[in-house]
């Protein structure tokens, strides 16, 4: 037993000894490898990129800039004389020009390595520093040093070898203005035949920004020089609103437009120095009005019409079913592209400078509708549908108006003629052919004109020529100012006419009280009616220099404000009034808390014009859209003139290419960027003006002077309409004084 145990212990001892020896060997090997690795890495290899100043007296501090300058055993010599090291950093060495040294080469040594830095001259002139060390053309730089003053000739300063304007100079400080297009480079000073080179000045400029228009969240790329890759050293703003930085390099900064930004210059601040570039213009998001056609085979040209597109091709991006298409042309209101193959079916999405709008669904197929004419009407209206892939046999096609099948008169591969069905309602127009379905670009609107009350050979109204005014409450009741008789009449939705306020004998005067006993002095045409959101009725009388009010469900006529002295009064949505006098002065009348309020003059511009009727509207930021006198047909918009200074007539178009009639009637703001203008005196029309694009189009033009209800295209009426009123749903009420009628124009 003892022998066996001894043998076991001996074996264990030998095994442990071998393991210990192996561990020691491995440890020595690892240490040897590390030492070998350390030896193979060797000492750092310094790189000197620049130094300053290159001249000065003994004791002058000289800065060397570069990489790996904190190498072990680094030494610096001035023409063979060793210099004292003051600061040793990886990217910077500061040494002192040695006492007793002489002009010559500065040499940096590390072991047996020798690096020639550059020549240093012992002299009285020396540059010690710059403040700031970066900036733009025209900025002032403070150069500190010694030996700047001179009685022989003025000291000169240079930035990157381009002479700068010296603003002021003393022996130790010089202020110079950075020259245009200087570029980045060293600052140099020359005095009395001596020169000294100082630090590098970083020249900064913004060359361009892209895009220059957009909205909140738009990503803007700023191109330039002298930027900084360190985002912590940079800030940017647009007209004072701090932008969000995304990335930066020496030549490019990317940022996003913040909430609350207003149009104005884009500026970048780097190391405390502000650089101002071009203006960035805030624009509303893009909007898509129509895509035509909504289905088509590959190779078809597709048109997207709307607003706020970029006029620069690559700033617009269109995807159909998630696949980007190549655009062929762009404008502010239209984008076109040729449909590629393999698109399939899916949403059309438009991106314009970071702002996105989702349009209708598009389908790649061999059937499509390009246009419908007319795109509105009543039952029985003949409609021409143009498109692609229709069946040439009438029986191969079916046409539906909002789900109701219509009669087809004829059919070719590109055109179908159909009759709007008896039960027509506003909705989607479709063509079904050979198992495929195509939607029209726009809804087909059941639209037209009907007479609510009056008409030729009736006696319920007495307007005498073109004079009168009307307003409509939320229940559809129409109030009509019959100016010649100094009364207000009420027309119910079913056409019943009754006296609402004023003397039944036509007596004129100025008396408040019960409606039937109140007196008005409307003159021949000088009264205007308005209704607010609470159905309070206001009467603006020039002859009485007052605005009167008949409150909803009240039997009393009251004075709202006196001293207006104008008939040109406009009620805006919040209940405030604006009054435009004949001399062009614009007054603001805040919503009253009692019966009397004050008029506040907000514009005293004298347009030197007579302004007749209700011929102005208020847009965003209280912008005044106005017409001039009876014989001009144009009005001011933020972006220019619509119509002609020298001519009148009838022509749709953009800006001055459009023509309007003279003696225009009401202007009504019917949308954020839309005005309706009563062009009724000679043209017998209602015109629509897009205030963003200055495009004039026609809502309605009577076909002739014959009094006739019907569609927007075939209704007859007359010139000489006096007034119109537009309700929130877009319905237009027209005062047709020539035919002694109140007419309703429904657009859908």
In a domain, 214, yes or no: yes
In a domain, 179, yes or no: yes
The pLDDT, as a whole number, for residue 637 is 55
Q: Is residue 298 within 8 Å of residue 365, measured between CB atoms?
A: no
pLDDT of residue 611 exceeding 50: no
In a domain, 30, yes or no: no
Q: Is residue 200 within 8 Å of residue 50, measured between CB atoms?
A: yes
Distance between CA 34 and CA 215 in Å, rounded?
Answer: 59
One domain for residues 408 and 537: no
DSSP per-residue letters across 52-87: E-SEE-TT-EEEEEEESTT-TTEEEEETTEEPEEEE
One domain for residues 487 and 383: no
Band of residue 419 on the pLDDT scale cut at 50, 70, 90: very high
In a domain, 536, yes or no: yes
Domain count, the chain: 6
Band of residue 42 on the pLDDT scale cut at 50, 70, 90: low
In a domain, 511, yes or no: yes
One domain for residues 53 and 94: yes
- Among 206, 271, 275, 209, CA closest to 234: 271
Q: What are the structure tokens assigned to 18, written together?
A: 């071998």
Domain-terminating residue out of 122, 141, 167: 122
Check residues 722 and 193 and name the one with the higher pLDDT: 193
pLDDT of residue 162 exceeding 80: yes
**Measured over all CA atoms, what is the biggest interatomic distance in the chain, rounded to whole angstroms?**
149
One domain for residues 461 and 595: yes
One domain for residues 464 and 382: no
One domain for residues 650 and 741: yes
Any idea which of 462-476, 561-575, 712-726 has the lowest mean pLDDT? 561-575
Sheet with strand 219-225: strands edge to edge: 205-210, 219-225, 252-256, 244-248
Total residues belonging to the chain: 748
CATH of the domain at 532: 2.120.10.30
What's the pLDDT tens digit per position in 113-151?
Answer: 999 999 999 999 999 999 999 999 999 999 999 999 987
Rounded to 5 degrees, φ, ψ at 33 are: -65, -40
Domain-terminating residue out of 282, 308, 328: 282
| 541: containing domain | 448-746
One domain for residues 500 and 598: yes
The pLDDT, as a whole number, for residue 703 is 87
In a domain, 36, yes or no: no
Residue with tokens 């109030």: 479
One domain for residues 382 and 250: no
DSSP per-residue letters across 669-711: EEETTEEEEEE-SSS-EEEEEETTTTEEEEEEE-SSSS-B-B-
- Among 430, 433, 450, CA closest to 442: 430
Domain-terminating residue out of 142, 175, 203: 203
What's the pLDDT tens digit per position in 687-717?
Answer: 998 887 888 899 889 988 899 998 888 899 8
In a domain, 741, yes or no: yes
The pLDDT, as a whole number, for residue 26 is 40
One domain for residues 88 and 189: no
One domain for residues 90 and 160: no
Q: What are the structure tokens assigned to 395, written together?
A: 């029986």
Rounded to 5 degrees, φ, ψ at 89 are: -125, 170
- Among 696, 169, 86, CA closest to 688: 696
pLDDT of residue 659 exceeding 80: yes
The pLDDT, as a whole number, for residue 691 is 81
- Among 348, 344, 317, 345, CA closest to 330: 317
On average, the pLDDT of the chain sits at 86
Neighbouring residues of 91: CB distance < 8 A, sequence distance ≥ 6: 65, 66, 67, 69
For residue 583, with 0-12 CB atoms within 10 Å meaning exposed, 13-18 middle and 19 or more buried, which class applies?
middle
Distance between CA 587 and CA 270 in Å, rounded?
Answer: 47
Mean pLDDT on 203-211 = 96
One domain for residues 160 and 82: no
In a domain, 34, yes or no: no
One domain for residues 456 and 548: yes
Mean pLDDT on 643-654 = 82
CATH of the domain at 191: 2.60.40.10
The pLDDT, as a whole number, for residue 3 is 39
What's the pLDDT tens digit per position in 723-734?
Answer: 889 988 889 999
What's the pLDDT tens digit per position in 271-297?
Answer: 899 999 999 999 989 999 999 999 999
């Amino acid at each position: 037993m003892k022998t066996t145990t001894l043998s076991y212990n001996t074996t264990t001892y030998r095994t442990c000894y071998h393991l210990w020896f192996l561990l020691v060997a491995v440890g020595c090997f690892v240490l040897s490898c590390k030492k070998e690795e350390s030896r193979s890495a060797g000492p750092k290899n310094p790189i000197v990129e620049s130094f300053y100043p290159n001249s000065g007296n003994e004791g002058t501090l000289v800065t060397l800039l570069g990489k790996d300058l904190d190498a072990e055993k680094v030494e610096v010599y001035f023409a063979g004389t060793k210099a004292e090291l003051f600061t040793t950093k990886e990217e910077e060495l500061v040494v002192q020009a040695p006492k007793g040294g002489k002009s010559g080469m500065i040499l940096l040594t590390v072991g047996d390595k020798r690096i020639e830095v550059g020549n240093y001259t012992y002299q009285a002139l020396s540059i010690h520093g710059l403040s700031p060390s970066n900036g733009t053309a025209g900025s002032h730089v403070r150069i500190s040093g010694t030996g700047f003053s001179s009685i022989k000739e003025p000291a000169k300063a240079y930035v990157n070898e381009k002479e700068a304007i010296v603003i002021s100079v003393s022996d130790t400080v010089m202020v110079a203005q950075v020259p245009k297009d200087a570029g980045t480079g060293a600052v140099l000073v020359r005095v009395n035949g001596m020169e000294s080179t100082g630090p590098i000045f970083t020249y900064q400029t913004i060359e361009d920004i892209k895009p220059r228009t957009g909205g909140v969240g738009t990503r803007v790329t700023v191109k330039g020089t002298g930027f900084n890759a360190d985002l912590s050293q940079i800030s940017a703003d647009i007209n004072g609103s701090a932008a969000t930085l995304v990335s930066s390099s020496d030549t490019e900064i990317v940022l996003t437009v913040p909430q609350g930004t207003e149009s104005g210059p884009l500026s970048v601040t780097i190391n405390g120095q502000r650089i101002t570039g071009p203006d960035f213009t805030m624009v509303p998001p893009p909007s898509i009005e129509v895509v035509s056609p909504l289905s088509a085979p590959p190779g078809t040209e597709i048109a997207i019409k709307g607003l706020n597109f970029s006029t620069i091709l690559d700033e617009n991006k269109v995807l159909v079913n998630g696949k980007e298409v190549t655009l062929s042309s762009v404008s502010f209101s239209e984008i076109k592209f040729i449909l590629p193959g393999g698109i399939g079916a899916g949403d059309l999405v438009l991106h314009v400078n970071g702002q996105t709008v989702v349009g209708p669904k598009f389908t790649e197929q061999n059937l499509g509708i390009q246009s419908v004419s007319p795109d509105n009407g009543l039952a029985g209206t003949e409609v021409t549908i143009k498109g692609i892939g229709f069946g040439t046999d009438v029986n191969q096609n079916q046409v539906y108006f909002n789900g109701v099948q219509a009669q087809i008169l004829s059919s070719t591969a590109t055109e179908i003629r159909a009759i709007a069905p008896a039960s027509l309602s506003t909705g989607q127009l479709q063509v079904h052919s050979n198992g495929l379905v195509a939607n029209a670009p726009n809804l087909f609107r059941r639209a037209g004109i009907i007479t609510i009350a009056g008409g030729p050979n009736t006696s319920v109204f007495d307007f005498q020529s073109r004079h009168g005014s009307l307003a409509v409450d939320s229940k559809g009741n129409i109030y009509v100012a019959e100016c010649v008789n100094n009364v207000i009449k009420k027309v119910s939705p079913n056409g019943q006419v009754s006296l609402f306020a004023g003397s039944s004998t036509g007596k004129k005067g100025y008396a408040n009280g019960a409606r039937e006993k109140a007196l008005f002095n409307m003159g021949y045409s000088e009264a205007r009616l308005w209704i607010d959101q609470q159905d309070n009725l206001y009467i603006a009388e020039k002859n009485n220099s007052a605005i009167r009010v008949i409150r909803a469900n009240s039997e009393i006529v009251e004075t709202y404000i006196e001293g207006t002295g104008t008939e040109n009064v406009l009620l805006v949505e919040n209940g405030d009034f604006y009054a435009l006098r004949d001399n062009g002065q614009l007054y603001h009348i805040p919503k009253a808390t009692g019966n009397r309020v004050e008029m506040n003059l907000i514009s005293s511009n004298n347009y030197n014009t007579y302004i007749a009727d209700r011929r102005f509207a208020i847009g965003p930021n209280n912008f005044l859209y106005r017409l001039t006198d009876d014989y001009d047909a144009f009005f001011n918009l933020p972006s220019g003139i619509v119509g002609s200074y020298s001519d009148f007539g009838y022509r749709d178009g953009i800006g001055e290419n459009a023509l309007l009639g003279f003696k225009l009637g009401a202007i009504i703001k019917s949308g954020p960027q839309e005005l309706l203008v009563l062009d009724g005196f000679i043209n017998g029309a209602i015109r629509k003006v897009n205030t963003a694009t200055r495009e004039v189009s026609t809502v309605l033009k009577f076909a002739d002077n014959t009094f006739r209800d019907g569609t927007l295209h075939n209704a007859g009426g007359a010139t000489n309409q006096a007034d119109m009123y537009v309700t929130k749903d877009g319905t237009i009420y027209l005062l047709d004084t020539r035919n002694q009628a109140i007419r309703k124009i429904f657009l859908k």
